[in-house]
Structure formats: structure tokens, C-alpha cells
Amino acid sequence: MKNKITISAPGKLMLLGEHAAVYNHPCLVTAVGQRMRATVTFLDESNFELEAPDVQVTGYKKHINDIGIGDVPKGAKFVEMAIKNFSERYPFKGGVRVETTSEFSSLFGFGSSSASTICVLKALSEIHNRKLSNKDLFDIAYKTVLDIQGKGSGFDVAAAIYGGTLYFLTGGKIIEPLRVKSLPLTVGYSGIKADTITFMKQVSELSKKYPTVIDGIYQQIDELVELAKNATLENDWQTVGELMDINQGYLESLGVGIAKLSAMIYGARGAGAYGAKLSGAGGGDCIIALSPSSKKEEIEKAIRAVGGEVIPVETNVEGVRTEN
């Protein structure tokens, strides 16, 4: 049995299908080059220790039997619950020390919590010699998401595990890798950190008030995701961009757009993007724009001109992997 291992997993960007993805509709997601790393050490003493300075958690320690109990810091929740869920399925003696580092800020909405969850689960499976498949990892990670958020599609943990660009259906009912070499994306950060759970609840309340209206919106998003999947496989970025613009309209109707995101989106479109939309739950975080190579510089300038920050990203990257 190994005593120490380092695992890395990528962040993610939702391409199309936000919010509808939570309610059994498909989405498209791509893994991005910024990675989360977790060094996991097996301890003889039965303690859980966490050092995660990127999310302001240092010197965190408790008995392994107390994980998931009591007041858990926000930055520790996913790692702690992942260990709890793993140990319930695969009991082990001793303790665990986790040290995480990230190549991207947790502010960007790139899925740092999901990436750290996958890193820890993969590390535990290696240390304890459990031959877990990607789907096994997904199932434990998805339970972790639901335990903490109450709802979620699981697309972010799927991206961290499988990498690449995925066609995904809620709960991992479908996880289909798409054969895509790269995506011509420009990413702009709004400077506003969004709270995913808050906006999921907001949309849920709207759905309760206008169930047939919101379900109709989800059905339309479902259709455009299917069209975008086919266009992506054909590298038809003009069509994908047009579908992104339509998707953004539906997201605005769900009430998750804000003025800063709109300014960035319209700036990118005006500078020649094939299409642009928010990526994620809304209320902040990032926008994505499909960028013709000849217009990329102008699109970046347009995003900066309205106060956005351009985030260099590599898309369609490798999923979870062992680093040592």
C-alpha cells in the first residue's frame, strides 16, 4: 500500500445547458487546462488533516470519526465529505492528510471543489488499492455533491474525471466523450464571485411558480444542446456560436444574467465572436465566447473594455491523473 500520492484533475467550463442540466436534460462541458492538485498522505493515527490555502483553510484537523459532523469550513466541505463517503463504502483504519494547490482561483467558477473532490477520491482509491473505474469515482463524487448542495447535475465531476469535451446527462446517465481537438474559446471573468447554490435555488423557485413555462425553456435548451453537439463534432463554430446566443437568451429568462456579464457578452459579440454566453450558474463568474482566430484580439479588448478579465485557458484537456 502506498503511503503518499499526488493526483491532479482539471477544471471545467460549461458550454451549453446550464440549469436545465440539473433537471434531467443534457449539457456540453469541456475540461480546462488549469488543474487542481492534491497530495494525500496515509496517517497511522486516526485523524483528518487539511491544508488548502487557496480556499483559506490551514491547520484544519479533526478525528476521522468526526468527519462530516459539526461546523465544517466552506473550503473543507467537499474534501471532508468525499473522504466520509469513500470510507463508508471502503472502510479503512488510520487517517488522512490532504494538501491541495490550484493553478486557478476558486473565484473563477472553474469547478475547484469538484476537482479537489476527484483528486482526493482517486488518491484514496490508489492508496488503499481499490481498482475503481471512472464511473465508480463519479458515483461517489456525485453523492458528495448532492450531500452538500442538495441538487446538482454532476457535469463538473464528470469533466474532472474524464477530461476532454463531454455530452452529459444528469447524474451520469450519459457520459459521452466527443472527438474534438480544441475549442476556439475566449474566457472572460466578471470579477464577481457567484454562489451556485443561491442561483440554483432561485431558478428552482421560479420553476415552482411557473412550472410549464420553465419546463418549456428546459425543453428548448435540450434541443439546442443536441444541435450544438452535432455542430461541435463537425467543427461548425458558426452554428455553435448562434446556439450559444440562443442559450444565453434562455438563461436571461431564468433570471441568472447580470449587467456585468451582459456587457462582456455584447462586447464580445460586437467584436466579432461567433457567439457568447455566461458559463455556469450565473450571477457572476465567467463568460465564454467562440472566437474566430482573426477576431480573438479584438474580442479580448472588448471584454477588458467593460472591466472583464481575460483568462487564458486550454480546453479539451486530460482528466484526472496520477502525478507521482
User: pLDDT tens, 145-195?
Assistant: 999 988 889 999 999 999 999 999 999 999 999 999 889 999 999 999 888
Q: Which residues of the chain have pLDDT under 50?
A: none
The confidence score (pLDDT) of residue 107 equals: 62
Comma-separated ranges of CATH 3.30.230.10 domains in the chain: 4-180+316-322
Model pTM score = 0.93
The C-alpha atoms of residue 136 and residue 27 are separated, in whole angstroms, by: 21
The confidence score (pLDDT) of residue 108 equals: 66
The grid coordinates of residue 89 equal: 463504502
Options 3.20.110.10, 3.30.230.10, 3.90.1150.10, 3.10.150.10; CATH of 4-180+316-322: 3.30.230.10
64 touches 96 (CB < 8 A):
yes
171 touches 305 (CB < 8 A):
no
| Percentage of the chain lying above the pLDDT 90 cut | 87
The C-alpha atoms of residue 297 and residue 280 are separated, in whole angstroms, by: 24
The confidence score (pLDDT) of residue 40 equals: 97
One-letter amino acid at 247 equals N
- Residue range 185-311 forms a domain whose CATH class is alpha beta
The confidence score (pLDDT) of residue 1 equals: 61
Comma-separated ranges of CATH 3.30.70.890 domains in the chain: 185-311
The C-alpha atoms of residue 18 and residue 178 are separated, in whole angstroms, by: 18
258 touches 284 (CB < 8 A):
yes
